[in-house]
Structure 1
Amino acid sequence: MGGCLLFLIPVLAGIPLVGAALIFLIQDARLRGFVIYGTVALMMLACLGLTGAWILDGSTPWLLYTHTELMDHLMQGIEILLMAFIIYMSFKYKRRWVSILSILQTGLAFWVEYSYPLQEATHTQVDSLALLMCVICAFIGGLIGIYSVGYMKSYHEKHRGVIDRSSTFLALLFVFMSAMFGLVLSSNLIWMYFFWEVTSVISFLLIGYTRTEEAIENSFRALWMNLLGGFGFAVAIWLCAMWNHSVQMDQIVSSANPMIIGMLCLAGLTKSAQLPFSTWLFGAMVAPTPSSALLHSATMVKAGVYLLIRLAPALNGTICGAIVSFIGGFTFIMTSLMAIAQNDAKKVLAFSTISNLGLIVACAGIGVEQTVWAAIFLMIFHSSSKSMLFEAVGATENSIGSRDIERMHGLILRLPKLAYVMGIGIAGMYLAPFGMLISKWVALKAFVDSGNVLLVICIAFGSASTMFYWTKWLGKLIAMHKPHTPDPDITRKDEYFSMAVLCVITILLCLLFPLLAGYVVNPIVLSLFGATTDVLSMSELTTMVIMVCSVLIVPAMMFLITRMAPRDIVPIYMNGINVGDNSHFIDSFGEEKKLHLSNWYLRFDFGRRRLLKPSQIVAASVLIVTFAILLGGVLA
């Protein structure tokens, strides 16, 4: 069975890489689509094969690949090419200072590899957490790849001023998936660092896809922030090599050196877009929707929380853990408040993504079994629900020409299929008894048990503001004051296929909550901490499943009733005489006025301009003071 694993790991990472090469070379859109479908199918099969082989072998962690000199040299060559590319782009677009970060971290990584003797160790690890991340990347990422086939056709029909480089864009998506497989399966920091940097560069390229001034500005912001985290990663590698002569993740967690853990936490915070580094993810929304769904919702930002969950046992009761939990909780509440002031659907999803990542980060920072249990559930549910919402928003924008929530008024009648997808996605994010809300409840319980009053306040008020902006959006979808005027739906079959499967996955995750807890989440917690307890009893989990079933039955009955009921447009009272179209009325002076219905966005109170800079200052100050304390401890 070990030989099977040795074979399946490079196959899993190699399939999307080979697929990316073919996608880049094939210019015929139809043929390219078939290649994408085939690549996704093979990637899913390879992931299932790896998971099945691991389970049949006893579900014990596997540490593989000791002698990898050829692979090490290949990675070093690619690192040099990536550094050269960043330097070239930095000089081309007159942002030369960005190249300094790349030169420093690449030089430091090379110096470590050639100057410090490291203990012979493995390079790849297969365990329950790594396989969960592989499943998320293969299945959620694969479905996003299928969605992108139709989306990019519609995107360029609507954006005729943008040069069509779909083959490059789609190829980069699959290169990214390959890098993610490598990252989560790495057992030492050097290999993980290599794949970490590949994801940063690909994100830079995808954000700058349109090559507009805004896209270039936002792509460089993402690049330098992620390179800053990469520099922290490289410093951690150097410290590990200098003090421990080992860069193995399990040894780092067991030794719990504050400075090394702190540097890795810095890398995790930048990649997961926590304050004060959140602005790179806001700007990433300028890219086409598939990159937002894949990189900035389902996978890339999950690399940051994946690293922090790996480090969670070493964070409990430490200064690094306290700061990580504070940054996560603070990010959760502040970005939730800022989301209230957004009417751009993708910006709402961006702020929501950062806030949910903040909650996962806070759970990892506490570093106990219950909070990590909640963090893993949050990661699972967020990946499916948020990816589906990004896809629905992208398809809606292509159909109605806008992603403004105010333009989605009555979408349930105008574009009913997309409205249903959005409704399920929004319900999955904040309504009971869907998984995100249950996971938040578990996190709240764990924060109370740990006595962390500050995090209890953050999750309580942050969740309240979450309800505020999701309810506004959901209400807009089902409100209708004008006669039924359908919009042309240009969403393609592959887009609907991806969204439909993600809808089914989201619902099944809720229905199978007890099985998910028993066979996926509990084993991960056991592998991290050596012990696990049932955070929720089986009776509680069963009750949730019954509630989910009832939640699904009621809308189905309402749908049948409304389909059979007559659909008369009833004139509404508008403080005057209704002209007859439910959009205009005659006021008391006999003048015709147009009716305007709009949500209240509280921009003056919670707008990004008002809250972002103070939030960044607080978070940056806390990080600076923390690293000053850690450095002082090292020098002493």
Structure 2
Amino acid sequence: MVIPFLICFPMIVAVLMFLIRVNKVRNAIAYASAVIIMIGVAVLTAQWLKGGMQPMVLAAGENSLIELADHVILAAEIVLMFVVTFLCFKYRKYWISLLSIVPTLMIAYFELFGPEIAPEAKIRIDHLAILMCIIIGLIGGLIVIYAVGYMHGYAHHHVEFEDRRYYFFMLLFIFLGAMFGFVTSDSLLWIDFFWEVTSVCSFMLIGYTREPVAITNSFRALWMNLLGGTLLAIGIIYFGYQTGTVSFQKLIGLGAGQAKYAVIPVAFMAFAALTKAAQLPFSPWLMGAMVAPTPSSALLHSATMVKAGIYVLIRLAPAMCGQQIGMMVSVIGGFTFFLASIMAIAQTDAKKVLAFSTISNLGLMVACTGVGRPETIWAATFLMIFHAVSKSLMFQDVGATENAMHTRDIEEFHGLLYRLPRLAIFQFIGIAGMFLAPFGMLISKWSALKASVDERNIILVMFIIFGSATTSFYWTKWMGKLIAATNQPKIRDITKKNENISLTIHAILMLGLCVLFPVLSQVFVDPMIAEQFGSYKDVLPMAVLYILIAVILVVFAVPFIAFRTTRKTPTNIKLSYMNGINTGDNTQFTDSFGEEKKLTLTNYYFAHKIGQRKLMIPSQLFTTAVIIVMLVMIIGGVA
């Protein structure tokens, strides 16, 4: 009963969020509901552990709710089609409605008039499903708690927008319920429905402000995700007609056995995952999503929704290993990792840096799944875990910093450690978790590189090497800004208590993951890989992992001790020469013409050389050509 509860409870709360217009009452319900969801995930995990960590399967007929769900899901999918069609016609985006109408009618026809499908598993709980549920429940619940305070400040500072918090929180809870349904479903028909729900939630949240730019970006996200959903539906229907089953596990098993009628469904599902994971050429939808309020950026577009694509690819990995499908996925992922990290260098807006780095790291995860070896799936899994926590922390922190400073320009973060110490420390932890040795993200990249070398995949090796180098470049610039000395005054930290609670827990989780990395690998991730592939060899010896823990402690201890011992040390600041007469504060001077000028220290961002405008379109053209050619080859090989 826990899984139906986790799917249905957020949906019920979403209705309450929409109906209740008294902010204090709605906020209290949001807090309580977030905690209940986290408790529900804990209960589910406990039940699974009690069952010996073995897969738990629930089929139609074993639970009345499950038996009824097929009819409810079909009806809801049709309603969703009407909602999307209405909004497309309202904003004169007529053609986009076809990407909802066509696949929905195809699925409806298949369910009502297609081949008879034997009763089979609808829900499957295993290591990967539990991991995703923990990410969704814990990170999602914390983001909801954070969002209560953040959206109060957002409504106060952005009076030009209608206060629609009831609408915002409704969509957050619908999304959480849909994600629980997505990661626990074994029925491909259920997966298709929950896939569409997450796409529509993302679309509506991006357009929250209803500004022209928000509307444009929201429809871009909608059509790109619906395009993937259309191929997903076609693949499901093809598989159903060929085999008389719509079981995800059976599809993976047949794909791993290289059955011909599994090739097209696997290829189309992989394509859909590339759109959801915002890989090139579909990356612009995630960039446009940054116009949405920060909590939705943290929840949907960094921590959870884009992980739906990674989740599908990890599931499909055994079926893609050594196949043309895997080659397509690894090339697109590796190229995206490299190009997105280059474009991130040219960004000064903190949210855009986070967006490009998200696309980049998703690219590395995608590349790992395309290779499909146990070592690369190990790396992809840890990349997903660390990225979910780190990016959720970073997005929330940037949102809180923006509220305090009224800017999210990284150049304005100069000396943030001394001006907003708490938020700067949280940013430091988030950045360290993303790239600093020997944190989990770096270990995962090393594992991916080693597996690529073993596979003699030279192209992917080059992408990982240069992508990692450029990643270090932009994170180092950001980190340097945080810790730079400054004589600018402190800023009043207006971060609310609930926001600080979420940020603190995220930071503790980040540190805990680093310290417990070997234990998590041995107890959870290694058995997960063995469950998928039948056997698994350790990527890193346990002795090496424990040495890395000691290094991690030193990494944090040294700057902390240095900060504590030197912050009260007397300083003797000398005046700097600035091509003129120093006015006495080392920030302004009078030039030779008698004009007062301000000294500005800034990083160079190469915007005209490697910016989004310069590289995005060529990158999209290249990756589009690769996908089209590879899909033609895959389909032609089956024919």
TM range (shorter): over 0.9
Name the counterpart of 1:47.
Answer: 41
Contact 2:575–2:582, Cα closer than 8 Å, also in 1: yes
- C-alpha change, 1:169 and 1:568, in structure 2 (3 Å) is farther
Name stretches of at least 5 consecutive residues in structure 1 with no aligned partner: 1-6
Alignment of 1:566-581 (within 5 A): 566=570, 569-581=573-585
Does residue 302 in structure 1 map to residue 307 in structure 2? Answer: yes
Identical-pair percentage: 51
Does residue 9 in structure 1 map to residue 23 in structure 2? Answer: no
Structure 1 position 216, deviation (Å): 0.4
Name the counterpart of 2:329.
Answer: 324
Q: How many residue pairs align between the two structures?
A: 628
Q: Return the alpha-carbon distance in structure 2 between the equivalents of residues 568 and 313 of structure 1.
A: 63
Which of 317, 323, 327 aligns to 1:312? It is 317
SS at match of 2:57: strand
Contact 2:57–2:122, Cα closer than 8 Å, also in 1: yes
Q: Return the alpha-carbon distance in structure 1 between the equivalents of residues 22 and 495 of structure 2.
A: 20
Contact 1:154–1:490, Cα closer than 8 Å, also in 2: no
Q: Return the alpha-carbon distance in structure 2 between the equivalents of residues 424 and 443 of structure 1.
A: 23
Name the counterpart of 2:353.
Answer: 348
Alignment of 1:130-279 (within 5 A): 130-256=129-255, 257-279=262-284
Structure 1 position 33, deviation (Å): 2.0
Contact 2:60–2:122, Cα closer than 8 Å, also in 1: yes
Which of 521, 529, 540 aligns to 1:525? It is 529
Alignment of 1:530-541 (within 5 A): 530-541=534-545
SS at match of 2:576: coil
Contact 2:263–2:638, Cα closer than 8 Å, also in 1: no
Structure 1 position 408, deviation (Å): 1.5
Does residue 546 in structure 1 map to residue 550 in structure 2? Answer: yes
Which of 97, 100, 109 aligns to 1:99? It is 97
What do the CA deviations read for 1:433-482 (whole angstroms, capped 9, x no partner)? 1111111111111111111000110010001111111111111122244x
Contact 2:135–2:304, Cα closer than 8 Å, also in 1: yes
Name the counterpart of 1:432.
Answer: 437
Structure 1 position 244, deviation (Å): 1.1
Amino acid at match of 1:526: A
Deviates more, 1:469-478 or 1:82-91: 469-478
- C-alpha change, 1:634 and 1:442, in structure 2 (3 Å) is closer
Name the counterpart of 1:451.
Answer: 456
Name the counterpart of 1:367.
Answer: 372
The TM-score with structure 2 as length reference comes to: 0.96
Which of 494, 501, 508 aligns to 2:505? It is 501
SS at match of 2:422: helix
Amino acid at match of 1:599: N
Amino acid at match of 1:41: V
Deviates more, 1:369-378 or 1:423-432: 423-432
Contact 2:343–2:356, Cα closer than 8 Å, also in 1: yes
CA RMSD of aligned residues (A): 1.3
What do the CA deviations read for 1:126-163 (whole angstroms, capped 9, x no partner)? 00100000000000111111100100011112111010
Amino acid at match of 2:119: E
Does residue 468 in structure 1 map to residue 466 in structure 2? Answer: no
Deviates more, 1:583-592 or 1:118-127: 583-592
SS at match of 2:121: coil
Which of 514, 521, 525 aligns to 2:518? It is 514
SS at match of 1:87: helix
SS at match of 2:589: strand
Name the counterpart of 2:390.
Answer: 385
SS at match of 2:567: helix
Q: Return the alpha-carbon distance in structure 2 between the equivalents of residues 105 and 586 of structure 1.
A: 67
Structure 1 position 24, deviation (Å): 2.3
Structure 1 position 589, deviation (Å): 5.2
Structure 1 position 567, deviation (Å): 5.5
Name the counterpart of 2:258.
Answer: none
Which of 626, 629, 636 aligns to 1:625? It is 629
Q: Return the alpha-carbon distance in structure 1 between the equivalents of residues 344 and 51 of structure 2.
A: 46
Structure 1 position 397, deviation (Å): 1.1
What do the CA deviations read for 1:200-238 (whole angstroms, capped 9, x no partner)? 111111000000000000000000001001001101111
Q: Return the alpha-carbon distance in structure 2 between the equivalents of residues 356 and 196 of structure 1.
A: 22
Name the counterpart of 1:109.
Answer: 107
Name the counterpart of 2:590.
Answer: 586
Does residue 408 in structure 1 map to residue 413 in structure 2? Answer: yes
Name the counterpart of 2:18.
Answer: 24
Q: Return the alpha-carbon distance in structure 2 between the equivalents of residues 30 and 441 of structure 1.
A: 48
Amino acid at match of 1:228: L
Amino acid at match of 2:431: I
Which of 599, 602, 626 aligns to 1:598? It is 602
Does residue 63 in structure 1 map to residue 57 in structure 2? Answer: yes
Which of 290, 299, 303 aligns to 2:295? It is 290
Q: Return the alpha-carbon distance in structure 2 between the equivalents of residues 371 and 480 of structure 1.
A: 41
Deviates more, 1:586-595 or 1:406-415: 586-595
Structure 1 position 432, deviation (Å): 0.6
The TM-score with structure 1 as length reference comes to: 0.97
Structure 1 position 107, deviation (Å): 1.0
What do the CA deviations read for 1:461-518 (whole angstroms, capped 9, x no partner)? 001111111111111122244x231223221111111011000000000000111101
Name the counterpart of 2:85.
Answer: 87
Contact 1:405–1:476, Cα closer than 8 Å, also in 2: yes
Structure 1 position 180, deviation (Å): 0.4
Structure 1 position 44, deviation (Å): 1.0
What do the CA deviations read for 1:286-315 (whole angstroms, capped 9, x no partner)? 000000000001110000000000000011
Contact 1:15–1:42, Cα closer than 8 Å, also in 2: no
Q: Return the alpha-carbon distance in structure 1 between the equivalents of residues 501 and 81 of structure 2.
A: 39
Structure 1 position 260, deviation (Å): 1.3
What do the CA deviations read for 1:238-280 (whole angstroms, capped 9, x no partner)? 1111111111111111211221111000110000000001110
Contact 1:112–1:237, Cα closer than 8 Å, also in 2: no
Q: Return the alpha-carbon distance in structure 1 between the equivalents of residues 577 and 432 of structure 2.
A: 31
Amino acid at match of 1:180: M
Q: Return the alpha-carbon distance in structure 1 between the equivalents of residues 566 and 13 of structure 2.
A: 46
Amino acid at match of 1:454: I
What do the CA deviations read for 1:62-105 (whole angstroms, capped 9, x no partner)? 11022344211111111111100111001100000000111111
SS at match of 2:124: strand
What do the CA deviations read for 1:534-562 (whole angstroms, capped 9, x no partner)? 11101110011001111121122012112
Contact 1:339–1:348, Cα closer than 8 Å, also in 2: yes
Name the counterpart of 2:30.
Answer: 36
Structure 1 position 29, deviation (Å): 2.0
SS at match of 1:123: strand
Q: Return the alpha-carbon distance in structure 1 between the equivalents of residues 581 and 429 of structure 2.
A: 37
SS at match of 1:169: helix
Amino acid at match of 1:240: F
Amino acid at match of 1:111: Y
Name the counterpart of 1:4.
Answer: none
Q: Return the alpha-carbon distance in structure 2 between the equivalents of residues 189 and 279 of structure 1.
A: 27
